[in-house]
Amino acid sequence: MLGSDLVRYLGETQTVFAIDRHNYADFRGRHFDVIVNANGNSKRFWADQNPAQDFEFSTASVVQSCFDFKFGTYIYISSPDVYADPGSPSATREQESVDPQQLSPYGFHKRLAEEVVRHYAADFVILRSAALLGAKLAKGIVYDILQGNALYVNLDTRIQFLSTQAVAEIIQSLLARKTSREIFNMGGIGTVTPSEIAAWAGKPIQVRADAAAQRYEMNLDKIKRVYALKTSAEYVQEFMAGHKSA
C-alpha cells in the first residue's frame, strides 16, 4: 500500500521507479539519488509466530538492498514497535535507548534493520511511522470496521494514524531541507479509538472474544518542527470521506 502510493505522490514531481520482487533483478546495480525502502513484513502477529521468516523479510532484505543498489540517500520506513512502550509519548523520543530484550520479534527486527541502514548508508533518514491509511488499505482497525470484520483489539485501544500522502509530503520536505543521518517519528497528533472510527464510518463494531487493548502514540516534537501534522482523527475522517466517495 505505502509503496504504490509513494510512487504515485512522489511521481508527480520526481522521476520514480517502482522496484518490487518481480523486477528487483532488473534494477540491481543501478544508481539512484534516493532509495525509499517501504518493503518488509508489516504483520506484527505473523512476525511473532514466524520470527525466522520475519527476519528474512524485514532485516535481511534491508542488508541486501544496501549492497544491491548505489544511492545518495537511503530512506527507511520503520515502525513504532522499535520502542519498548510505543504508546507513551514520554518514552518514544527518537533518541530513546531501548533494551532489545523488551522488544517483540517484529520490533526487534525493525530495530536491527534501522541499525543496518545507519551502519551501511553514508546518508540516511529513518521514519518511524504510525498506522497508515492509503488507497490499497487491506488490513488494520479501519479496514476491519469498514468490512464488518471482528476486531483483534478491544474498545480500550487507542491508535495514532497517518495518511500515505502525508508520508510522501514529509519525505519531500526532508529532502528539500537536505536532512541527513536523522530519525523521525511520524504520525497524526493524538489518537483515536475503535468506537470513534466506527461512528465516523457509520458501521457497527464487533470485537473478538480474545481481543486485547493496544496503544500507539509516539512523541512528535521533532517532526512538528519540519512538517505541519494534522490530528489522527483528521487523517481517519479524510480517509473515510474518500472511501465513501469512491
Tell which residue, 65, 8, 37, 198, has the closest CA to residue 125: 37
pLDDT at position 40 is 87
Residue 60 has pLDDT above 80, yes or no: yes
Instruction: Check which CATH number belongs to the domain holding 116 and give it.
Output: 3.40.50.720
Assign 217 a pLDDT band (cuts: 50, 70, 90): very high
User: Would you say residue 34 lies in a domain?
Assistant: yes
Rg (CA), the chain: 18
CB atoms within 10 A of CB 227: 16
pLDDT at 201 over 80: yes
**The amino acid at 153:** V
Could you count the other beta carbons within 10 Å of the beta carbon of residue 115? 13
- Segments forming the whole domain that contains residue 179: 2-136+162-187+216-227
**Confidence class of residue 244 from pLDDT cuts 50, 70 and 90?**
confident
Q: Is the pLDDT of residue 177 over 80?
A: yes
- Range of lowest pLDDT (22-26, 39-43, 118-122, 191-195): 39-43
Q: State the total domains in the chain.
A: 1
In a domain, 199, yes or no: no
Distances (CA, A) of 213 to 5, 15, 145, 165, 227: 29, 42, 16, 28, 30
Q: Is residue 61 part of a domain?
A: yes
- Which ranges of the chain would DSSP assign to H, the alpha helix? 2-10, 24-27, 44-49, 51-55, 61-68, 105-120, 141-147, 164-176, 194-201, 221-224, 232-245
In a domain, 197, yes or no: no
pLDDT score for 232: 98
Residue 202 in domain: no
> Is residue 246 scored above 80 in pLDDT?
no
Whether 234 is in a domain gets the answer: no
Q: Quick check: is 109 in a domain?
A: yes
Q: Is 241 inside a domain boundary?
A: no
* pTM across the whole model: 0.96
- Cell 497524526 belongs to which residue? 188
**Cα 33 from Cα 23, distance rounded (Å):** 19
